[in-house]
Each structure stands twice: as C-alpha cells, then as structure tokens.
Chain A
Amino acid sequence: MARTVTTLTRFNMTSLALGLAFLYLPIVILVIYSFNASRLVTVWGGWSLRWYHEFFNDRAMLEAAWMSLSVGAVSATLATLLGTLAAVGLARGERFRGRALFSGMLYSPLVMPEVISGLSLLLLFVALNAERGFWTVTIAHTTLTMCFVTVVVQSRLTALDRSLEEAAMDLGCDPVRAFLLVTLPLIVPAIVAGWMLAFTLSLDDVVIASFTTGPGSATLPIRIYSEVRLGVKPEINAICTLVIALIAVIIVIASFASKLSSARGESAAPL
C-alpha cells in the first residue's frame, strides 16, 4: 500500500503549536525559571544552578524527597505483588461466586474520589490507633495504586494464549511451575510497567498522603504544597524540574516495557 506523505499546512502547524504550548508552556516556564539566578520568581536574573544547590542543602526538603521516594518504592512493590496476584486470580481463576463484585470492588479506587479514600483511611488508622507516618502513607498508596497494576497485568494475561500454560503442564509442569516458567516470563514487562505506574502515582499524590501522614513525615508533594502557600521560592522550581525529569525517565522505561510485552504477545499468537 502506498503511504501518502502529508506535509503540514500552515493551519496544521499553528494548531499543533498552540496545542503543545497549551500543554507544555507552563512546564517549560517552570523548568527555565528553575535555572534563574534571581531570588524573585518572576524576575529573570540570568542562568544559574543556585536553586539546585540550595535544594541539595535543604535538609527538610531532602528528607521529604527521600520519604516520597521510599514510600513510592515500597508501596509500588507491595501494589505490584498484590495487584499481580489479583490479576492472576481474575484472569485465570475458576469462575467463583461473586467474581463480578470482587473485580468491581478491586477497581473502585480508579473512580473513587481521593478525598473519600483519604478520609476513610484516616478514620481507619485513627480507629486502629495506628501511629501515622511512613507505613500509613505506604499502605494508603498501596490500596490506591494496586488496581492500576491489576488493570495492566490482567489485560496482558487475557491476551496471553491459555494453551501456553496447558502446553507447559502437558510437558510435565505442575500448575505453579507452569506459571513460573512460562506465564511469568511473558508478563514481566507488564509487571514492570505496572510498578512504574504505581511508583509515579504514589510520587504524585498529595490528597491521600496528606490525610494519612503524621507530623514530621511529610512527602515531597505535601512539603512543596505547604511551602508554596507561604510564597513560591525558586527552589521549588528546581525540585519540580527534578521530579519531572524522574517521571519522564520512568514513563519512557514503562512504555518500552509495554512495547516489549506486546511484541512478545504477537509472537505468541498463532499464524
């Protein structure tokens, strides 16, 4: 089939530029201003790495960043474990009574307003008399992000040919070994993508974290939010630029992982 090469007309160019500007101009401004030498956010004072330097010397900010990264890593790992198990149960398990209800409940955090999830978790932790801090935020984020992992992994599992597992069993694997030797290697990219998604969601969250965290253990977004209320410091721009860079890297890795995953899926399909 002949592929038609379309050249961009002036109209297309303009609309594309406006659309991209609408989405990315604020971020570009933020990134540029993070290299601003001036103390005043809105006044350009020349290029400088001053605010990055400032951030790496700001202990409270660094602690918040560390808190966010560790909450993200631990909650993403827990969510990936639980989410993958749920996906396997839903995609491969026998049809059990209440399966529809179960999967509906599993996916409810996707649509549940965060304020409600945050508040209900706060009430739970208060009722349990749990000390609020690292673990409460981690648990809260696990419940928030688990369903995203399930969505990603379950769609991969459903697309995977069932007869691959049957072939493994036919060739001498018990069901557990068939899963470990055949299914797992084929869904690893989806699991990696799920982890990345969970990690970025956790890194990004303000609402649920602010409900479930305790004094002295603020995550980076909470810290930034409270700083900004006292007036925007150029240091915040520098932190945000770093977060954007980190998330961009993760998104690129995750998209490569899911591309790899679907490429493997194609080869698994019959002729």
Chain B
Amino acid sequence: MPLLRIEGVAKSFGNFRAVDKLSLDIRAGEFFALLGPSGCGKTTLLRMLAGFETPDEGRILLGGNDIAQVLPHERPVNMMFQNYALFPHLSVRDNIAFGLRRAGMARKDIATRVAEMVALVKLEGLEKRKPDQLSGGQRQRVALARSLARRPQVLLLDEPLAALDKKLRESTQGELMELQRRLGTTFVIVTHDQEEAMTMAGRIGVMDAGRLVQVATPRNLYEAPASRWIAEFVGDINLFNGQVAARDHGRLTVSTTEAGTLAVSELWPPVTKVAVSVAIRPEKVKLSRRAPASDEGASRAINRLEGVVTDVNYLGGVTSYRVKLESGAVVRASMANTARLDVDAYLAGQRVVAWFTADDCLVLEQ
C-alpha cells in the first residue's frame, strides 16, 4: 500500500475540467514531481491534496484513510506556497512556531523544535526579523521551515523555487534534495520547469489537460516518452513523420517525406498504427564532414542525412547547430564543447552529414 493513493479524482470549475479522473500512487519517502504546462491541473491536484479544493469525484487515501473531504487544518499534510505566504505581522520565529502553537504543543517543546528548524534551514540569528526584512532566499527558507515544523507525512511544494534567481535556484535544489533525504519526508512538488523536476525528483508525473500522461523516472521520461506530446514537452526533439514500411526483429523501417528512409529500433510496447513519427534528440545527432564508416552489420544501422549548416549557436557547454536537409526540413544537433579550442567546429554554409543510430531514435505514434 503506497502512502498516498489518488483514485479517480476529478474536479471541475464551471465547465472547465481541471482534473479528469486522475489516479496516482506515491510511495512513502519519495520525491515526486508533478510537471506540466500552465493550466494542466497540477496546482489544482496539489490543492486537493492540501484540502483547499474538494474533489467532485474519487478518493484520496493517505495511509489508507480517505482524506478527500477532510478540512485542511485536520490533515497531516503541509504545504509550501509559491509566494511563501509568510505572515507579515509575525517574526521568523513566530512564523515557524505558528503551526506548533495550533497543535497545542508545550511551550518548551515549541522552542526546541523552532531552534531545530532554524538550524535545519540555516537561518540562525534571523529569528527576530520580520518577513519584509529578509531576502528572497531567506523567505523561501522560512517558508520551508514553517511547513516542515509540524513534521507532516507529506510536504506539498507549489513551485517552491520559481521566485528565486537562477544561481540561487540551483543551489536551493541541492539543499531541498539533501533535506528530503535526511528527513525521509515524502515530498510532492509542482513545477512547470522540467529541468527542476528532472534534477530533484525520483519520479515525475507529467500532466496535460487534467490527466496524467506519463509517470516515469527522469531518465525514462526523457529517453522513452510515452507520446509525441511528451517527447516535445520534455526537452528538445527532432520529429519526422512517416509510415512504417517494413518490420523485422524489432527493427522498423520508416519512410518519411522529409528525411527519406530511416531505421529505428522498436521499443515496448510496439507501435500499432502505420502513421508514425521518428524522434531523435539533438544531442544524439552527430555531425561529420564525410559520411561515417559503413554499417557494422545490421545491429548498428546508421541513418545518414545530408544537408547544409544554417545556424551555429555557441552556448558555452554545448554548441547547437541547425542543418537544413535537401527536403527543406531542419535537423537540430547539439554537441558538447569538450575542448577549449575547437578547430573542428562547423561553420554556417558548410555541407555536413547528420547521422544517428537506430537505437538512438524513437518511434512514436502520431
């Protein structure tokens, strides 16, 4: 039995179906991310877990008890709000102690717990400050300490890092992960930032239009997306539409209008439709001046696409290229800049061969 089980939960606002018969299991001690574009229902789902919205249908089981109708203040669940929602009239200490006081904890125990929380989020010396005397990063820590002070079974985090700048966000990601491992609390985070979700979460649930479209580890989500929509939502991808022309021992031959005939390894479950898309991530597309050495047997079939480099974007760690094929289609390729002086870099206007193996690309139903 998982710690948190969401069963056929649905919620509508007027005619808008925000969450549509969604089911999901979250295990104890897990760092789970709900990822999706804005308006996909991820925040509504989180608010139903916190108790601020009541599901129209379905059950939410926490440790076996249905909490779908339980009021927020009676749930062993706490939430960290996107804008932190710190009480402006209370000091850091009183903000953290707020939930403990409501739980009727003894004065001495409250002081101990607050000190423990302050140390946990490294806010020593700031206990007497008011929220408006803190920096953005410090406020974020107060909000985290306040939501963890009651030792919730599940901590819900609504875009917890959205208000921080990039550098601070990256270091805070690391701290959140470290904290979660140390406390063993189940974290459910809502984010629209896929990099954030991939960095922190053990498993990611991708939502679209109120439904969960895939639940997977970051690696599986990226390397084996369940649909064309997910492939395009998570990371960059090149897509070529075509028809399955031949099928042979898990190897498909797809004839595309834009990139000719491509060899693709088939994943489980096999595609059933004839109209498919061949998908290849830019970093798996290699460029070379001449065609690579011939196929080493059928197991390493290579797809070659000839074209002209149109754009070169140097991004520091990687350089991304756009290669225009004879059909007019564009293939994006990105290559790590492994050497400081790259005399071999490709230039715009140069003729190149973009190539990738059958194992590196995916076949997705259209």
Residues of A at the B interface (CB closer than 8 Å) are 161, 163-164, 166-174, 177, 181-182, 185-186, 264, 266-271
Number of interchain pairs (Cβ within 8 Å): 74
Contact of B87 among A164, A170, A172, A269 (CB under 8 A): A164
Chain A CB within 8 A of B315 CB? no
The reply to whether B88 and A268 contact each other, CB–CB distance below 8 Å, is yes
Please, which residue of chain B has its CB at the minimum distance from the CB of A269? B83
Which chain B residues lie closer than 8 Å to A268 at the CB level? 88
Interface-centre pick from B98, B147, B163 (highest chain A CB count, 10 A): B98
With A166-B52, A170-B72 known, 6 other A-B pairs at CB within 8 A are: A170-B147, A171-B98, A172-B103, A174-B71, A267-B130, A267-B132
Chain A CB within 8 A of B346 CB? no
What band does the interface of chain B fall in when counting residues whose beta carbon is under 8 Å from A?
A: 20 to 34
Which chain B residues lie closer than 8 Å to A167 at the CB level? 79, 81, 85-87, 146
The reply to whether A170 and B79 contact each other, CB–CB distance below 8 Å, is yes
- Report Cα–Cα, A58/B306, bound state, in Å: 107
Known A-B contacts A172-B99, A266-B132, A270-B163; A161 and B85 likewise in contact (beta carbons under 8 Å): yes
Known A-B contacts A161-B83, A163-B81, A267-B132; A170 and B88 likewise in contact (beta carbons under 8 Å): no
Interface-centre pick from B52, B87, B131, B136 (highest chain A CB count, 10 A): B87
Which chain B residues lie closer than 8 Å to A271 at the CB level? 83, 136, 139, 163
Output the least CB separation between B90 and chain A (Å).
Answer: 9
- Report Cα–Cα, A161/B89, bound state, in Å: 13
- Report Cα–Cα, A186/B89, bound state, in Å: 7
Residues of B at the A interface (CB closer than 8 Å) are 50-52, 71-73, 78-79, 81-89, 98-99, 102-103, 130-132, 136, 139, 146-147, 150, 163
Please, which residue of chain B has its CB at the minimum distance from the CB of A177? B102
The reply to whether A163 and B72 contact each other, CB–CB distance below 8 Å, is no
The reply to whether A168 and B98 contact each other, CB–CB distance below 8 Å, is yes
- Report Cα–Cα, A271/B132, bound state, in Å: 10
Output the least CB separation between A264 and chain B (Å).
Answer: 6
Which chain B residues lie closer than 8 Å to A264 at the CB level? 88-89
Could you list some 29 contacts between A and B, CB below 8 A? Answer: A161-B83, A163-B85, A166-B50, A166-B79, A166-B85, A167-B85, A168-B98, A169-B51, A170-B50, A170-B72, A170-B73, A170-B78, A170-B79, A171-B73, A172-B73, A172-B102, A172-B150, A174-B71, A174-B73, A177-B102, A181-B98, A182-B87, A185-B89, A186-B88, A264-B89, A267-B132, A270-B83, A271-B83, A271-B139
Which chain B residues lie closer than 8 Å to A171 at the CB level? 73, 78, 98-99, 102, 146, 150
| A-B CB proximity, top 9 nearest | A267-B132, A172-B102, A270-B83, A171-B99, A167-B85, A163-B85, A267-B88, A169-B72, A268-B88
Contact of A267 among B82, B83, B98, B131 (CB under 8 A): B131
Which chain A residues lie closer than 8 Å to B78 at the CB level? 170-171
